[in-house]
């Protein structure tokens, strides 16, 4: 799902364009089913099974998408090598303990869509990404912690509050995860916070470079004008030389005609 060298892989690029919206929809379905499963504690076993079926089903589709992209790749081994992280994130959730990693794929897909929609409006994108990541992290940490002994995160409200105090790096410590899965979510959330800060810094930096480009463009335009002027000068000088040579030729003729007389 990372941006591959699409110029060298036109078939994957075409596939991506075709399935992009479907994958986004699928990620949204996965997230909705996951949220329902986590938040609705009064769900009967049958409903729980149905949601589990949806979650497994969408997961299988993500795996199929990856396999198809390998099949379409020209340089197959190169593709697998450069998309190893995707493979790991798709394969690891087979183990029950690491099912929380499925959310990384879902966030990656939804985040890409968000980034495409928000092109240029960084504030909008950052807000969207924080809400998305915060919502998913709150669900995941609640799912992981809820029934753990000594858990301090046992309600969705508490999970949201914990997410806010963590992503802002305030960390009161009134609530914190105690299970390995919950701590994995916490670590991801901290990385996400630092990454978001990086996006903000990078966007300020790119705004700078745009300014630099404009300065460069102005100076280059002025230089082009000067260059054109100098070129015109050269043409004029060529004309001057031509006239002078004509004069010299005429003077030669004059000299010759005046000498015999």
What is the CA angle 81-11-16, rounded to 5? Answer: 80
Q: CA-CA distance, 211 to 133, in Å (whole number)?
A: 32
CA-nearest of 90, 18, 36, 21 to 59 is: 90
Q: CA-CA distance, 86 to 187, in Å (whole number)?
A: 19
Q: CA-CA distance, 34 to 77, in Å (whole number)?
A: 34
CB-nearer residue toward a second copy: 91 or 254? 254
Q: How far is the CB of 22 from a second copy (least distance, A)?
A: 30
Q: How far is the CB of 11 from a second copy (least distance, A)?
A: 28
CB-nearer residue toward a second copy: 115 or 214? 214
CB-nearer residue toward a second copy: 67 or 247? 247
Site residues, a second copy (CB under 8 A): 157, 161, 164-166, 168-174, 176, 180, 183, 186-187, 190, 193-194, 198, 200-202, 204-205, 207-209, 211-213, 215-216, 218-220, 222-227, 229-234, 236-241, 243-248, 250-251, 253-255, 257-259, 261
CB-nearer residue toward a second copy: 32 or 226? 226
Residues in Cβ contact with 130 at an 8 Å cutoff, skipping those fewer than 6 apart: 167, 196
CB-nearer residue toward a second copy: 117 or 225? 225
Q: How far is the CB of 220 from a second copy (least distance, A)?
A: 6
Residues in Cβ contact with 108 at an 8 Å cutoff, skipping those fewer than 6 apart: 1
CA separation (Å) from 167 to 63, 151, 205?
30, 20, 23
Q: How far is the CB of 29 from a second copy (least distance, A)?
A: 28
Q: How far is the CB of 106 from a second copy (least distance, A)?
A: 22
């Amino acid at each position: 799902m990372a941006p591959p060298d699409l110029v060298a892989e036109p078939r994957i690029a075409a596939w991506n364009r075709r399935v992009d919206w479907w994958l986004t929809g699928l990620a949204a379905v996965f997230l909705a089913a996951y949220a329902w499963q986590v938040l609705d504690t009064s769900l009967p076993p049958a409903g729980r099974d149905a949601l589990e079926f949806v979650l497994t089903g969408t997961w299988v589709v993500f795996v199929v998408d990856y396999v198809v992209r390998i099949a379409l790749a020209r340089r197959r081994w190169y593709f697998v090598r450069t998309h190893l992280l995707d493979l790991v994130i798709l394969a690891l959730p087979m183990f029950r303990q690491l099912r929380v990693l499925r959310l990384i794929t879902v966030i990656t897909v939804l985040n890409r869509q968000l980034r495409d929609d928000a092109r240029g409006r960084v504030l909008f994108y950052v807000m969207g990404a924080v809400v998305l990541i915060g919502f998913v992290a709150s669900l995941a940490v609640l799912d992981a912690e809820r029934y753990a002994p000594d858990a301090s995160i046992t309600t969705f409200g508490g999970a949201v509050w914990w997410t806010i105090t963590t992503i802002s790096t305030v960390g009161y410590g009134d609530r914190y995860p105690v299970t390995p899965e919950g701590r994995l979510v916490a670590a991801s959330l901290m990385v996400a916070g630092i990454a978001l800060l990086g996006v903000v810094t990078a966007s300020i930096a790119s705004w700078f470079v745009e300014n630099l480009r404009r300065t460069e463009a102005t100076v280059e335009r002025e230089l082009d004008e000067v260059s054109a002027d100098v070129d015109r000068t050269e043409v004029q000088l060529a004309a001057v030389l031509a006239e002078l040579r004509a004069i010299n030729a005429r003077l030669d003729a004059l000299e010759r005609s005046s000498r015999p007389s």
